[in-house]
Amino acid sequence: MKIWQIDFYYFPWLNNKEQKQWKLLICDRAGNLVHEAECLQSQANAKWLSDRLRQAADTKLPDKIQVFRPQALGLLSIAAEQLGIEIEATRHTTALKQELTKQASQYGRQIPNYNPLALDKPPPQPLPEDLWGEEWNFASVAAGEIEQTFSDRPIPVLNLPESLLPINLGISSSVVVPGVVIYGGRKSLQIVRWLEQKQPVALNYIPTEVGRSGGLVLEVGLVDRWVFATFENEAVAKAARNYEQSKQQSQGLHFLLVQPDDSGMTYTGFWLLKDE
């Protein structure tokens, strides 16, 4: 499958006529720069994008376009639909983000502290009460056992992106991958369907200043966040710190597992996640 990662956004500097200038940047998943083009804000529309995508394609359009920036998604969705290309909103656009960072470094003197990957994020929202499970806890599994343990199980919702498999990230099979398990009871499927709709990306521990309490924040979609859990217990806070330390050892790789109970016999949903 031919996949492009695309960004289309305005430059944080002005041209000679003091008009915002937009830039189209296209990479493939291997990190090769496919195409780049610039236009004035007055030209930044779906037709301009469609024309540039055809030009960049040469002979064959991509099967899928991946976009991480919410502000770019609308116009690119229209252009992709016109060309019959599938579009995917995802934070996992590593090659594109590396190219953006590389190019931004060239303008460091003109724009101090400019971060091309920075996105405005709304405050975390409280998780709806009807989605609270019966309980949750931290867990872990060896990297080499993830695919074997979960890929062959009859799990209603299974999200094991090939790009996040430990073997494709160069993670040793003996490395411990941390995660969180939700025991949902009768609400397990309801919780999983909600998570599937929101598209989980990462689950992070946010400590308080004293470090003896805090919470877990679930990152979903492109910029949205939900308060997964809060706690004021030193033992839980210590486990949460260990969880974050384990993520450092696993290159940010972690997981979220939903199951009805702690019997280990039935799984309802599994997501392999990775910090950005």
Q: What is the pTM of this model?
A: 0.86
Domain of residue 77 covers 3-105
Same domain, 147 and 261: yes
Low-confidence ranges of the chain (pLDDT < 70): 12-18, 107-112, 209-211
Same domain, 55 and 173: no
Same domain, 130 and 8: no
For residue 116, tell me if it sits in a domain: no
What confidence tens digit (pLDDT) does each residue in 34-69 have? 999 999 888 999 999 999 999 999 889 999 999 999
Same domain, 72 and 135: no
Q: What integer pLDDT is reported at residue 87 of this predicted model?
A: 96
Q: What integer pLDDT is reported at residue 42 of this predicted model?
A: 87
How many angstroms separate the CA atoms of 191 and 258, rounded? 8
Tokens of 170: 């160069």
Which residues make Cβ contacts (< 8 Å) with residue 246, sequence separation at least 6? 140, 176, 177, 178, 254
Tokens of 105: 């470094």
Q: What integer pLDDT is reported at residue 210 of this predicted model?
A: 66
Q: How far is CA 73 from CA 5, 8, 111, in A?
A: 12, 9, 25
Same domain, 152 and 86: no
Which phi and psi (to 5°) does residue 51 adopt? Answer: -60, -40
Q: List the CATH number of the domain containing 43.
A: 3.30.420.10
**What crossing angle do the helices spanning 70-83 and 46-57 adopt, rounded to 10°?**
70
For residue 110, tell me if it sits in a domain: no
Same domain, 137 and 173: yes
Domain count, the chain: 2
What confidence tens digit (pLDDT) does each residue in 149-192 have? 888 888 999 999 988 999 999 999 999 999 999 999 999 999 99
166 Rama sector, left if φ>0, alpha if ψ -120 to 50, beta otherwise: alpha
Same domain, 101 and 129: no
For residue 114, tell me if it sits in a domain: no
